[in-house]
Structure 1
């Protein structure tokens, strides 16, 4: 884990004071702030090496893939998954680690899958203290496009509070819609872009939906599953940057959009992902069922 920190500025307006009806819809999220780096096996990372036992087969995908631009070459056999996230408990203790584990690893198949035309993730919960020989040269997929294979990044976990946006009940939204518009006109701060849901790769809180919410229900117990993490294409966009770019990344003069393209890309999309049209992938778990089942969703503009 790098020593650098990332600090999200305070919300430019007091959301709870302006809209007290939103207090029940406040949540804590952990922004991970991936930045290009060289993480090691014992680091929390995105797209970095995994502490994977050499004795355990590396996961491959043998499912069928739709013939899109993000499909394996014709005739290719089962394709190895690629590392997406590795999260150690000391860095993100908020994760619902099953008993005896302190490490979450998420990999995905870097080719389109139905029903979302997106990568398909898999989760692995481990005991990082287990005495195993780590795998040092995992297999790589054949013909995967860079948009679905995250570049190695170090993480800078940061806890922030956020307020529901797409997930507000219709009755609450209807009651506040005009006031949201009035505040935007009076102050220039949009509830949707600047005051509500934190963008970027994150754990917990609310998903960074780009379309209507699509929460999954647990197939085992029927309860609505909990948001585990969001992996969107970008850390901020042309609107949200005004209030969500970390203080450490604000240039001395101008804004992040005045930076050269390469410098801005290193802040806005260090992992190099593009999931559909500026979309994201969202992972959910059922913390009630003992085997911690998970599901995922994908959306895009």
Structure 2
């Protein structure tokens, strides 16, 4: 099934013609619960992983835990619309006693499905995203991992891993991704308007326009950040949103080149300020606004994952040399 972003409530370039020079494109992934296969682009599905290749693990010491959630219990609870029961953590309170921990596979994307996906090292056209299911240090930091591949070469492997290593307990229920198929759609996007992301006089005008819209139409009025610039949810390319951190200069730690946004992993596909982006296919045409949205959690939080304070993970790569390490920004 296709997914179609509704026309923006206001033509942003009609209001601010100079934004045409800053227009970009992003591919909205529109994940929805389903049964993706290892040869598909997906969130939460089986990875295309040669059987003779070691699964990635996080070797760093992990924050000690007291209780957690078993993956099977999480799946059963989701099917029943309930919350899973927690269990005591084996060896609770012993730092680093568990040793290396297998990464959780979050998503994989093929460039043949998503032409806007930047190429990886050596022209790699398949990227796989992983996260350590445990936290690190007193601030409960996360560790992520990217694996780049040449899809055609990988698909010629003699055998593939039937299932990743079992992780007995997860710290939170939202560590386990819900298998989701993708419904790809390219849309126009515009930079976040703050600090030096756009010319200063233009940002002043955008802020004034937002204030005037709210004064005339109330808090539900369209806003630049919420309705006209950057869609919420999982997407490839385009511009990062900076809701909690403010704009950051992301330079490559190897060569100092400005890094580009590879992809954004979003915890929510909509929130109170961005429900205008929900696709037409997920709406009741007889209703208006937020009340028109159908599908419940399968539309609002389809992958069940969480990222950072505002639930967005931005993955940046170096355009000068994709071999250089990526950077992970939570915003």
| Alignment TM-score, normalising by the size of structure 1 | 0.88
8 A contact 2:119–2:125 mirrored in 1: yes
- 1:241-280 alignment, distance < 5 Å: 241=275, 243-254=276-287, 258=291, 263-280=295-312
8 A contact 1:208–1:232 mirrored in 2: no
Higher normalized strand content (fraction of residues)? 1
Comparing 229-238 with 252-261, which one deviates more in the overlay?
252-261
Q: Does 1:147 align with 2:174?
A: yes
Match of residue 103 from structure 1: 126
Structure 1 runs, 4 residues or longer, greater than 6 Å off: 68-72
8 A contact 1:27–1:205 mirrored in 2: yes
- 1:129-148 alignment, distance < 5 Å: 129-130=152-153, 131-132=156-157, 133-144=159-170, 145-148=172-175
The structure 2 residue matched to 1:56, chosen from 49, 53, 56, is 53
Match of residue 46 from structure 1: 43
Match of residue 256 from structure 2: 222
8 A contact 1:28–1:160 mirrored in 2: yes
Q: Does 1:79 align with 2:91?
A: no
The structure 2 residue matched to 1:190, chosen from 223, 240, 248, is 223
Comparing 138-147 with 112-121, which one deviates more in the overlay?
112-121
Q: Does 1:206 align with 2:239?
A: yes
8 A contact 1:44–1:85 mirrored in 2: yes
Q: Distance in 2 between matches of 1:186 and 1:17?
A: 19
Match of residue 235 from structure 1: 269
The structure 2 residue matched to 1:36, chosen from 33, 50, 56, is 33
Q: Distance in 1 between matches of 2:167 and 2:257?
A: 36
1:113 CA drift (Å)? 3.8
Distance 1:284 1:222, change over 3 A: same
Distance 1:39 1:285, change over 3 A: same
Aligned pair count? 294
1:67 CA drift (Å)? 4.8
Distance 1:280 1:255, change over 3 A: same
Q: Distance in 2 between matches of 1:69 and 1:30?
A: 40
Distance 1:103 1:65, change over 3 A: same
Distance 1:194 1:151, change over 3 A: same
| Alignment TM-score, normalising by the size of structure 2 | 0.81
Q: Distance in 2 between matches of 1:13 and 1:227?
A: 26
Q: Does 1:284 align with 2:316?
A: yes
Q: Distance in 2 between matches of 1:142 and 1:51?
A: 22
Structure 2 residue matching 1:222: 3-state secondary structure? coil
- What value does the CA root-mean-square deviation take over the aligned residues? 2.6
